[in-house]
Amino acid sequence: MLIKICRGWEIPESEATPEAVFLNRRALMAGGAGLIGASVIGRAQAQASDPSADLYPAKRNAAYKLDREITPEAFSGDYNNYYEFGTSKSVAAAASKLKTRPWTVKIDGLVEAPLEIGFDDLARKMPLEERLYRHRCVEAWSMAVPWTGFPLASLVALAKPTADARYIVMHTFKDPAQAPGQKAFWYPWPYTEGLTLAEAHNDLAFMVTGIYGKPLGNQFGAPLRLAVPWKYGFKSVKAIDRITFTKERPKTFWEALQASEYGFWANVNPEVPHPRWSQASERVLGTGEMRPTMLFNGYGEFVADLYKDLQTERLWA
């Protein structure tokens, strides 16, 4: 498909974190006040009234280690991709208006019995833990964050897919009245992503409900998002309200828009450039440091086996 839309996250590596933005944030941080301070305070107030707030902080699972510092919240919380709320990185204020309660997650498709469950009931049923994960965007910036959540495999067990099911498909809410970005008719809303069931059962596949030891802020995809850290960040769909099990591979949001650049698998590989920029290195958010990108974002020991019989597939973008 040859739609040429200017998408905020499709920028060359050299521009992935513009220096001016970076320096401006440093100045704001140094001042210790200003917009970031206001947004953090607003978030803290919203989180105090969160019906699941007592579940945080969850115990950290030491199996998931980082090779770098955790990205400060002031950076990760003010540099987001969330097209439902605009194409800039500063979507926190707009996203904070999304009503995340009540929030029902619908589970349907090839399952023993379709199910609807309130988010807070789901969170209380699941084994919550904290994990430190790297997070690598296809735009060639990265961060490292302490997510709280539960293994996707636990949700699959709750859903009970039938023997025919081969894929799990996750949909973001659709409500243009709350999410102005969804009025842009040329995007195939709702945002949809998918994994094979084998990927969904991998230990690393994580459903996220919190970050930094607190309930998830709206800009990160509250109340429920995915984290699959061996893949480019666009696979990690936010604000999920429907999960469908299918036999056919789904057409995902970015694949539907530009299949030549964003495929189904989207595994991180420094040697396979995006058609318009290199993926060899990444800019670390918060420090500006350039680091070499790692195959599978450094998670090969967990996931490489998933792909050994799939070498004819376009696994890397």
Between CA 148 and CA 209 the distance in angstroms is 6
Longest CA pairwise span in the chain (Å): 57
Q: Which is nearer to ligand MTE, 161 or 221 (CB)?
A: 221
**Positions in 61-80 near ligand MTE (CB under 6 A):** 80
DSSP string, 217-282: PGGGTTT-EEE-TTB-GGGS--SEEEEEEESSPP--HHHHHHTTTS-S--B--TTS-BTTB--SEE
CB of 315 to ligand MTE, least distance (A): 19
CB of 164 to ligand MTE, least distance (A): 27
**Positions in 131-170 near ligand MTE (CB under 6 A):** 135, 137
Q: Which is nearer to ligand MTE, 126 or 257 (CB)?
A: 257
CB of 78 to ligand MTE, least distance (A): 10
Residues 6+ apart with CB under 8 A from 30: none
| Beta-ladder partners of 104 | 118
Question: Is 216 within 8 Å of 286 (Cβ atoms)?
Answer: no
Question: Is 281 within 8 Å of 140 (Cβ atoms)?
Answer: yes
CB of 48 to ligand MTE, least distance (A): 22
CB of 238 to ligand MTE, least distance (A): 4
| Cα dihedral 236/178/124/135 (nearest 10) | 20
Strand, coil or helix: 161: strand
Q: Which is nearer to ligand MTE, 56 or 191 (CB)?
A: 191
Q: Give the x-and-dash track for 93-132 against ligand MTE (CB under 6 A).
A: ----------------------------------------
Strand, coil or helix: 297: helix
CB of 235 to ligand MTE, least distance (A): 7
Q: Does 81 bind ligand MTE (CB under 6 A)?
A: yes
Q: Which is nearer to ligand MTE, 233 or 286 (CB)?
A: 233
Q: Does 182 bind ligand MTE (CB under 6 A)?
A: no
Among 56, 64, 75, 83, binds ligand MTE (CB under 6 A): 83
CB of 261 to ligand MTE, least distance (A): 12
CB of 227 to ligand MTE, least distance (A): 9
Q: Count interface residues toward ligand MTE (CB under 6 A).
A: 17
Q: Which is nearer to ligand MTE, 91 or 315 (CB)?
A: 91
Alpha helices in the chain (DSSP H): 19-31, 34-48, 73-76, 92-95, 119-125, 152-159, 197-200, 253-258, 300-303
**Positions in 278-317 near ligand MTE (CB under 6 A):** none
Cβ neighbourhood burial of 54 (10 Å; 0-12, 13-18, 19+): exposed
Between CA 281 and CA 291 the distance in angstroms is 5
DSSP state of 144: E
Q: Does 215 bind ligand MTE (CB under 6 A)?
A: no
**Positions in 217-246 near ligand MTE (CB under 6 A):** 220, 233-234, 236-239
Q: Does 172 bind ligand MTE (CB under 6 A)?
A: yes
Other Cβ atoms less than 10 A from the Cβ of 315: the count is: 18
CB of 2 to ligand MTE, least distance (A): 20
The residues binding ligand MTE (CB under 6 A) are: 9, 80-84, 135, 137, 172, 191, 220, 233-234, 236-239
